[in-house]
Amino acid sequence: MMGMNPNQPIGAVTPFPAPGLGATGGSEIYRIAPDGAPARLWSSREDLVYALGFDQQGRLLAGSGNHGHIFAINGIDDFADLLKASATQITAFAPAPGGGLYASGSNLGKIFLLGPALESEGTYESDVFDAHVFSRFGRSTTRSSGNVELFTRSGNVDNPDRNWSPWTRADLSGAELKIPPARFVQWKSVLHAGSPAPRVDSVLLYYLPKNVAPAIDDITLQPGYRYQPIPHVTGNEPPNPGQPHFDPPPPSVRDRDQIGIRWSAHDDNDDQLVYSMYYRGDGESRWLLLKDNLSDRYYSFDASLLPDGGYTVKIVASDAPSHSPGEALYAERESARFEVDTTPPVIEKLTAVLEAKQIHVRFQAADSFSSIKRAEYSLDGGDWQFVEPTGQLSDSKTEDYDFRIPVPQPDATPPPMAATAANDHVVVVRAYDRFDNQANAKTVLRGK
């Protein structure tokens, strides 16, 4: 629904600019009482007041730019838009013979004569209203008195002089408007002199935007992160249609067992959206539902819910919450491929043999999905030491390790009863796959 009221103030304050500079901003008019107390009479966030004067009835007139309007100020927040001159700024007023008034303009320089009598007919045009999407226009509701006519027109560009429909008279009783569907609309009221005096208080135009499918702009994968829910604040006013949504990023914590997925989406109708998430493994043709009825634009889940492998996620957005059943539209987008590996590798064939003054260790590390990333060993509870595979490069799902550890020499000769125990050694090895899943194994060498 579109509402415009030509008798309502626009409001706002900015510094007063010099005439003719084409400045933008707004103005305020104040009345100063004899004791010095100020009272605001009128304000505008768009019109810049360049001149003030009085007509023969003692009404305050304000000449403005940069649209050349002359306003009659009747009282506090009570004003009339008298006319729009063909000059950009109205810069001065002066009395004219017979009770009229001269008004000078700049850009271009012109002199206008305002007669003392009322015009037999006046016209007011609303601003062009942007519905943001192609829309169908319904009825109008006008609060007015006296001899008033209402006209409407529509178009698909913001300039009403380019390929718009002609002005079409609207039925003030509330009949449907006879203008074609479009993105932009404008109304015009024509006031004819008579008794009672013509007056337009408000005009409402009803419209129905054509439903446009939502759009998913981007999907971001964050393996190893878990999202924390954002509290929802109720009671906020909905954003203006067509304005972008700025969702704060969800707070996340590091969690190697989780997979976080977040996305951005928008809807040109500003409809409420609901989301569903599907997944599909490599080589599979069927999408499987992971989670539906999501109102947030993020979701994290336990990676162990999926077998080890490569996957793709699809997000489906629906505007069903804002439409009748059967009229909802959908959009979908697939993510980049990602991999899941929650199974640790396996250590096999671990042996440790004492050869002279060295311990000869062999073992094999294998993973069912990803390559082996690195391996380490520890002797007798000491620090972990890195060990290379036999091929030196860790790039395979199966890696063989063959290395020797110097046997530590005791600082003193142990007592006879402890000699055997001193020759016992414990070798522990561990291996990591590319996803940092870890496997451990150990072997014991008994002293003789």
What would the pLDDT profile of 306-344 be if each residue is shown by its tens digit?
999 999 999 999 999 999 888 899 999 999 999 999 999
Mean pLDDT computed over every residue of the chain: 86
Binned at pLDDT 50, 70 and 90, residue 242 comes out as: very low
pLDDT above 50: residue 125? yes
CA-CA distances (angstroms) from residue 203 to 83, 137, 156, 172, 200?
19, 14, 21, 10, 8
Question: Are 356 and 441 members of one domain?
Answer: yes
State how many domains the chain has. 4
429 and 380 in a single domain? The answer is yes
Share of the chain above pLDDT 90, in %: 56
The answer to whether residue 9 sits within a structural domain is yes
Q: pLDDT tens digits for 404-440?
A: 999 877 655 556 555 555 678 899 999 999 999 999 9
Whether the predicted pLDDT of 19 surpasses 60: no
Share of the chain above pLDDT 70, in %: 88
CATH code at position 391: 2.60.40.10
| Domain stops at, among 63, 98, 117 | 117
14 pLDDT exceeds 60? no
| One domain, residues 141 and 97 | no
pLDDT at 58: 84
**Residue finishing a domain among 325, 340, 355:** 340
Domain range for 364: 346-445
pLDDT at position 15 = 37
Are residues 197 and 161 both part of a single domain? yes
- Check whether residue 255 and residue 330 sit in a common domain: yes
| Residue 302 or residue 356, greater confidence | 302
Residues 396 and 332 in one domain: no
Do residues 10 and 80 both lie within one domain?
Answer: yes
Find the CATH number of the domain harbouring 81: 2.120.10.30
The model's pLDDT over 66-99, given as tens digits with 9 standing for 90+, comes to: 888 889 888 888 888 888 888 888 999 988 888 8
Average pLDDT over residues 160-173: 92
pLDDT of residue 447: 67
285 and 324 part of one domain: yes
